[in-house]
């Protein structure tokens, strides 16, 4: 079948995984599994699939994607699905200031490949009918929008293929190993940093107590564009700890 022959290049995209959040149709899960296999990505994860029916999944996965389906992992929340990743890019068709900077798949690909040199990185896709929520987008470091001429949304499996294709082409064109870089902080480390900094900024009056996550979002976007290492995250949490200590809230103890 077209696209099911083994690839002949030596590009390793196995650290990159696809995460589908609450997919509505099992056929899209199967088609996404085929993309994962065709493009050499590292696996498929689903969060609360609405119709996890095996037969339609396998039919659309074709021969090449059935191993991916067999190894597919299910999770109860996006946070759990991203727990072992060092970075995630969320796809969205929506625009607006709450979304931060929206990258094209081509611009996002180098960022994802850089993360993949330090651990697992994720491509996150929302439900077919409504996409990812703002809270779910906030759990990812990048927001990606696939440019279209008219209708802003694509079929879920089509969107997975566009992202995976851009990743593979970017990796092929880069050629050769990249220079060594410090390993980026894990998803869990980044989420803990944001909670810690937000608490510190509320404590000293920089952020309003009413809906601080809304006012913190621009700060979060700046930090995540820098892809801080674990060591840099620890340094920033030291600043947050000092803010809380000065505000008399925790006496210098690092909250968990």
**Statement to judge: residues 28 and 135 lie in one domain:** yes
- What's the pLDDT band for 143 if we cut at 50, 70, 90? very high
Residue 5 lies in a domain: no
Q: Are residues 53 and 125 in the same domain?
A: yes
Angle at 136 between CA 242 and CA 185, to 5 degrees: 45
pLDDT higher than 80, residue 218: yes
Quote the pLDDT of residue 4: 61
Q: What are phi and psi of 104, to 5 degrees?
A: -75, 160
DSSP 114-176: HHHTTSEEEEEE--TTT---HHHHHTSSEEE----SS-S---HHHHHHHHHHHHHHHHHHH-S
Domain membership flag for residue 90: yes
Q: Assign 102 to helix, strand or coil.
A: strand
Q: Are residues 74 and 200 in the same domain?
A: no
Q: Looking at the structure, do residues 197 and 143 belong to the same domain, yes or no? A: no
| Residue 219 counted as domain residue | yes
Domain that holds residue 102: 16-174
179 pLDDT band, cuts 50/70/90, is: very low
pLDDT at position 127 is 93
Please tell me the predicted confidence (pLDDT) of residue 150.
72
Please give the span between the terminal C-alpha atoms of the chain, in angstroms, as a whole number.
Answer: 52
Say yes or no to pLDDT of 1 above 70: no
Residue 69 located in a structural domain? yes
Q: Report pLDDT digits (tens) over 236-249.
A: 999 999 989 888 85
For residue 115, which of 16, 207, 188, 201 has the smallest C-alpha distance? 16
Is the pTM of the predicted complex or chain greater than 0.75?
no
My answer on whether 130 and 59 are in the same domain is: yes
The domain tally of the chain equals 2
- Shared domain for 128 and 163, answered yes or no, is yes
Provide the 8-state DSSP code for 179.
P
User: Has residue 250 got a pLDDT over 70?
Assistant: no
CATH code, domain carrying 37: 3.40.1280.10
Q: Is 172 exposed, middle or buried (0-12, 13-18, 19+ CB in 10 A)?
A: exposed
The pLDDT of residue 5 = 56
- State the Cα–Cα distance between residues 126 and 133, nearest whole angstrom: 8
Q: Would 213 be classed as within a structural domain? A: yes
3-state helix, strand, coil in the chain (%, to 5): 50, 15, 40
């Amino acid at each position: 079948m077209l696209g099911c022959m083994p690839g002949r290049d030596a590009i390793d995209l196995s650290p990159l995984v696809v995460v589908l959040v609450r997919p509505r149709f099992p056929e899209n899960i199967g088609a996404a599994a085929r993309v994962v296999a065709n493009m050499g990505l590292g696996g498929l994860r689903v969060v609360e699939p609405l119709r996890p029916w095996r037969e339609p999944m396998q039919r659309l996965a074709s021969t090449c994607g059935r191993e991916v389906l067999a190894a597919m992992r299910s999770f109860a929340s996006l946070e759990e699905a991203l727990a072992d990743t060092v970075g995630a890019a969320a796809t969205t068709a929506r625009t607006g200031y709450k979304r931060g900077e929206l990258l094209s798949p081509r611009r996002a690909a180098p960022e994802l490949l850089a993360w993949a040199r330090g651990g697992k990185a994720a491509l996150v896709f929302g439900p077919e009918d409504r996409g990812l929520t703002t809270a779910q987008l906030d759990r990812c470091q990048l927001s990606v929008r696939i440019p279209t001429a008219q209708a802003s949304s694509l079929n879920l499996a089509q969107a997975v293929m566009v992202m995976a294709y851009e990743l593979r082409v970017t990796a092929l064109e880069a050629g050769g190993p990249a220079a060594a870089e410090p390993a980026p902080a894990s998803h869990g480390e980044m989420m803990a940093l944001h909670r810690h900094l937000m608490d510190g900024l509320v404590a000293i009056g920089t952020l309003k107590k009413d809906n601080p996550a809304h006012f913190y979002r621009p700060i979060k976007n700046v930090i995540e564009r820098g892809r801080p290492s674990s060591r840099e995250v620890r340094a920033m949490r030291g600043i947050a700890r000092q803010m809380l200590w000065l505000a008399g809230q925790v006496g210098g103890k690092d909250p968990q």
